[in-house]
Amino acid sequence: MKLPLYLDYSSTTPVDPRVAKLMCDCLTQEGNFGNPASRSHLYGWQAEEAVETARRQVADLVNADPREIVWTSGATESNNLAIKGIAHFYQKKGKHIITSKIEHKAVLDTARQLEREGFEVTYLDPDTDGLISPAMVQDAMREDTILVSLMHVNNEIGVVTDLAAIGEVTRAAKVFFHVDAAQSPGKVAIDLEAMKVDLMSFSAHKVYGPKGIGALYVRRKPRVRLEAQMHGGGHERGMRSGTLPTHQIVGMGAAFAIAKEEMAEENQRILALRQRLWDGVSDMEEVYLNGSIDQRVAGNANISFNYVEGESLLMSLRELAVSSGSACTSASLEPSYVLRALGMNDELAHSSIRFSIGRFTTPEDVDQAIAQVRKAVTKLRELSPLWDMYKDGVDLNSVQWAAH
Amino acid sequence: MAYSEQVIDHYENPRNVGKMDEADAQVGTGMVGAPACGDVMRLQIKVSEEGVIEDAKFKTYGCGSAIASSSLVTEWMKGMTLDEAGEIRNSSISEELALPPVKIHCSVLAEDAIKAAIDDYKSKQ
């Protein structure tokens, strides 16, 4: 069976073969299998060295101090640790948290949990480009605000938040600023020495590293303190107990090191591919790119094909691995909450497909995707009563629909 | 999501796609659903003087199961009397297409479309 063409790099990425090789070297008896916490023998020392090298590699990509990096199981855990950790530690200072409506569920559900515990959460509405501005954050700030949590790059539409500007606002108000950066390393330059971000969540598997490993950046100056969510052997300076998985950590370190080395060139190449994709489909009628065009990562193209329903479009695009809305919510019948938060109408939200281009995508892949998309959209529009009405000049908003 | 062979067949080769003249007194049109919900079906029937459905056409905006449900009912309805068509139940549609529970609403919508088309035809007589 021919495998579908993979254009879903925002969902996850394959491990880079160079990374996989290094990981394999940390598993077997001949390899670096020791427990990094073992202080009494060479096996432990070697493993610890590999872990610390990786910590430096992660810190280097984002211009942080290695001592500010805490290993976790992934961005979901990092988000939980940052948000709950701050909320629980500083709740005497205040119980108000600010986030946005287009965050990943790992942030939104964590915020909901804190609401159940008695915290108050403000969910900011982005503008129609999907962006949160410093002024929106400023306006939502209260006396009792302790934390602002925003994503760096949105997983569905790929838009980039202006962290530097928002960091100025939060620091001036002495409010902690947490950033979910699951989608941004290797795609957008991150300089934590320059930006006033206090906590940042990372994941390895979006950057050609393995699944099951991530990190949380916790600023040292000014110091940020957290209440641990996982208790045990006191690993990671007590912030996150649990035996460190050397092979996973080595994989994340190597993946981040490669990203640092290659990101400038890679992003140029990927941007050209996205432009090729957009040029190939945008001459069809009623096709829209969702989210800001300028403030956006290179690999993301979230496109609405109006009057065509997303799930049926995916069915026609069986030879392409793409997603409709976010992979986490596409099993439900609801249109994407991110697109709705942009103020898009439901038809357009229902008709969206996210293409995400990555390291191993070729121009031929993009051309194949264009051909399939054009064929599918044309076929489904011929089947669509909404397309008929559009062609007949009927304003769909003027129709009295029988909602069900 | 895995689709049944029947759904894929109707989706790949939809039967009776098209549009008839809504103003024609012999034609009944039923349009159900809403774009906001992710599916809209337009089902049309052409009825002979003897009250038999001579032709049926559909267009559907929606998922594969919605397209398959409407395609299937156009096949079934041809040659039926209005009374027979009015007795088509969503359960027979979902059974024939082996729809999973989350897609049962597609068959309900198809049943609604049949009723709406019949009502529209009757209101014109």
Task: Give pLDDT, residue A375.
Answer: 96
Cβ distance A335 to B38 less than 8 Å, yes or no, reads yes
Whole-number mean pLDDT of chain B? 94
Tell me the CATH number at B112. Answer: 3.90.1010.10
| Å between A337 CA and nearest CA of chain B | 13
Paired tokens of A262:
């290659």
The per-residue pLDDT for A328 is: 37
With beta carbons under 8 A apart, name residues in chain A contacting B62: 309, 311-312
Q: How far apart are CA A282 and CA A306, in angstroms?
A: 12
| B32–A307 C-beta distance less than 8 A | no
Catalytic residue flag (residue A328): yes
Residues of A in contact with B102 (CB under 8 A): 333
CA distances from A200 to A143, A172, A182, A297 (A): 24, 19, 9, 18
DSSP A176: E
Euclidean distance between CA atoms A359 and A222, whole angstroms: 37
pLDDT tens readout for residues A117-145:
999 999 999 999 999 999 999 999 999 99
pLDDT more than 90, % of chain A: 89
Mutate to test the interface with B, among A305, A312, A391 (most CBs of B within 10 A): A312
State how far residue A333 is from chain B, nearest Cα, in angstroms.
8
Distance from CA of B72 to the nearest CA of A (A): 14
**Model confidence band, residue A202 (pLDDT cutoffs 50, 70, 90):** very high
Domain that residue B90 falls in: 5-124
Contact between A402 and B32 using a beta-carbon 8 Å cutoff = yes
Chain A contact set for B66 (CB, 8 A): 309, 312
Which pLDDT score is estimated for A404? 57
Interface predicted TM-score (ipTM) = 0.94
- Say if the Cβ atoms of A385 and B62 lie within 8 Å: no
Is residue A105 within 8 Å of residue A338, measured between CB atoms? no
Which pLDDT value is given to residue B101? 87
Residue A5 has pLDDT above 60, yes or no: yes
Determine whether the interchain pair A387/B109 forms a contact, defined as Cβ–Cβ distance below 8 Å.
no
Contact A383 B60 (CB under 8 A): yes
pLDDT (0 to 100) of residue B36: 80
| Per-residue pLDDT, A287 | 97
How close B29 comes to chain A (CA, Å)?
Answer: 12
| pLDDT at res. A403 | 59
**Predicted confidence (pLDDT) at residue A102 exceeds the cutoff of 80:** yes
State residue A325's pLDDT score. 58
Q: In whole angstroms, what is the distance from residue A112 CA to residue A312 CA?
A: 33
Q: For residues A76 and B103, which has the higher predicted lDDT (pLDDT)?
A: A76
CA atoms of A257 and A59, how far apart (whole Å): 10
Q: CB-based contacts of A317: which residues, under 8 Å, 6+ apart? A: A353, A372, A373, A376
Residue A403 has its nearest CB partner, among B37, B67, B108, at B37
- The predicted-structure confidence for A318-341, as pLDDT tens digits, reads as follows 899 998 853 334 445 677 889 999
Nearest to A374 by CA among A302, A282, A250: A282
Interface of B with A (CB under 8 A): 1, 3, 11, 14, 17, 19, 31-42, 59-64, 66-67, 102, 105, 108-109, 112
Contact assessment for residue B104 and residue B12, using Cβ atoms and an 8 Å cutoff = no
pTM given for the model = 0.92
Q: What pLDDT was estimated at residue B1? A: 57
Confidence class for position B35, pLDDT limits 50, 70, 90: confident
A401 vs B: CB within 8 A? yes
Active site annotation includes B37 = yes
Condensed to tens digits (0 to 9), the pLDDT of residues A81-93 reads 999 999 999 999 9
Number of domains in chain B: 1
